[in-house]
Amino acid sequence: MPTIAEKILNRASGQNAVAGDIVSARVDRAMSHDNAALVWKNFKSLGVDKVWDNEKIVIPIDHRVPANNIKVAEGQKAIREMVKLQGIKHYYGINTGICHQIMPEKGHVKPGWLIVGTDSHTTTYGAFGAFSTGIGATEMAGVWATGELWLRVPHTIKINVTGNLPKGSYPKDLILHIIGKLTAEGANYRAVEFYGDTMEKMSVSGRMTVSNMSMEMGAKAAIIPPDEKTFEWLRPRREGELEGAYADPDAVYEREIDFDVSDLEPQVAKPHTVDNVSPVSDVAGKHLDQVFIGSCTNGRADDFEVVAKILEGKKIHPDVRLIVGPASYEVYLEAIEKGYIQTMIKAGAVVINPGCGPCLGAHEGIMASGERGLSTTNRNFRGRMGSPDSELFLASPATAAVSAITGEITDPRGWL
């Protein structure tokens, strides 16, 4: 009767625990990005000389790349020195991409694994059937030292999604709609499992968007049962047999919620919370100063395909700055080879190197006071992408691309 979360944590702990129990679980992969410098500082205070396993720690540098100030440069230097000292096998510098994209790309994700990362959107790997969750730098220092972490086994919410997404609506619209209904605290410290024909038909990229943003409703993990589509995506990227963990037919769920997406209108999250969601028609016409398309949420090749089709032969509005950020260099190269990048540049977009810069308001796309932006990222908190006196809306790549052309928030359905 276990859920997927219970099965994975029981395998990792060697226990027969149920929701609510505390387990000490063995970690399969531990990921830290730029904040590995802080983890390293905490690790050194433990009095441990060597990390528990230099092949199970993954360190991508992605938040401020290349370094945008001296303090950041010093932090990244400290990470490089630590990587050499500890013999960390999987270090990715400034030319690889965003952690949540390159973790599965580089084979560091596997169905049934327990993966922890010092980033809240580590839930992304649930798209591949893993229990993946964010932890703090102090907790990660303990993981580096011992390879283990204690966790309370979460209760699980089962979400069934049925119907075909209509023209103009995408996985991003689906997860925004779900977050709007459940609210930002609707899945606090809960595992969420997604089922239904909508999820089965969804691309791996779309599933990553759903698992990524589930953290915005408080989810501890956001798991989509792996299928042949999952295995086909992973096989070229990692060696060994791929087996998923699946809930028993009589698994006990805390709640079960049904969504029918057949009539789902494109969604927009309004300032300044992700759960402040409404149909695009409610906010259409609002003037925009900046549009950002990219990030670990929507910076993949299929996202850019949609954008390129919309921008083909058109120009962005003269009042709008359109910034595009691929999620990784693998994505970047694919988008170049398929002509998406050229199309976006010809339309007036500025394409930046893969990284997190604009998403967290670090660099390469900061908004000024009084400006309004629309982004395909995962958060729109006050000051998230610049001035606390700016406004940020969240939407799909299609909505973002059309809005960049018109200069105002626009329903994409008439453009597709």
C-alpha span between 104 and 61 (Å, rounded): 15
pLDDT in tens, 18-46: 999 999 999 999 999 999 999 999 999 99
Contacts of 187 (CB under 8 A, 6+ apart): 157, 214, 217, 218, 219, 220
C-alpha span between 257 and 194 (Å, rounded): 10
Residues of the chain with pLDDT under 70: none
Is residue 8 within 8 A of residue 245, CB to CB? The reply is yes
Is residue 123 within 8 A of residue 350, CB to CB? The reply is no
C-alpha span between 169 and 36 (Å, rounded): 37
- DSSP codes, 162-188: ESPPPTT--HHHHHHHHHHHH-TTTTT
Helix (H) or strand (E) holding 301: helix 301-311
The per-residue pLDDT for 239 is: 79
CA pseudo-torsion sign 80, 66, 388, 133: negative
3-state class (DSSP) for residue 215: helix
CA pseudo-torsion sign 304, 308, 311, 315: positive
Helix (H) or strand (E) holding 126: none
Is residue 30 within 8 A of residue 116, CB to CB? The reply is yes
The per-residue pLDDT for 163 is: 97
- Residue that has been written with the tokens 């300032």 in this structure: 271
The per-residue pLDDT for 347 is: 98
Is residue 317 within 8 A of residue 405, CB to CB? The reply is yes
pLDDT in tens, 221-275: 999 999 999 999 999 998 788 999 999 999 999 999 999 999 999 999 999 999 9
The per-residue pLDDT for 1 is: 85
C-alpha span between 24 and 14 (Å, rounded): 9
pLDDT in tens, 191-205: 999 999 999 999 999
For the chain, domains (ranges, CATH) are 4-226+250-259 (3.30.499.10), 272-415 (3.30.499.10)
Is residue 174 within 8 A of residue 165, CB to CB? The reply is yes
Report strand pairing: 277-279 vs 267-269. Answer: antiparallel
Q: How far apart are the first and last CA of the chain?
A: 45
* Cβ-based neighbour number of residue 307 at 10 Å: 29
C-alpha span between 411 and 397 (Å, rounded): 12
The per-residue pLDDT for 185 is: 95
The per-residue pLDDT for 164 is: 97
Q: Across the strands, what pairs with 158?
A: 193, 256
C-alpha span between 182 and 154 (Å, rounded): 17
What's the distance, CA 322 to chain centroid? 21
The per-residue pLDDT for 69 is: 94
The per-residue pLDDT for 282 is: 97
Contacts of 163 (CB under 8 A, 6+ apart): 197, 198, 260, 261, 262, 264
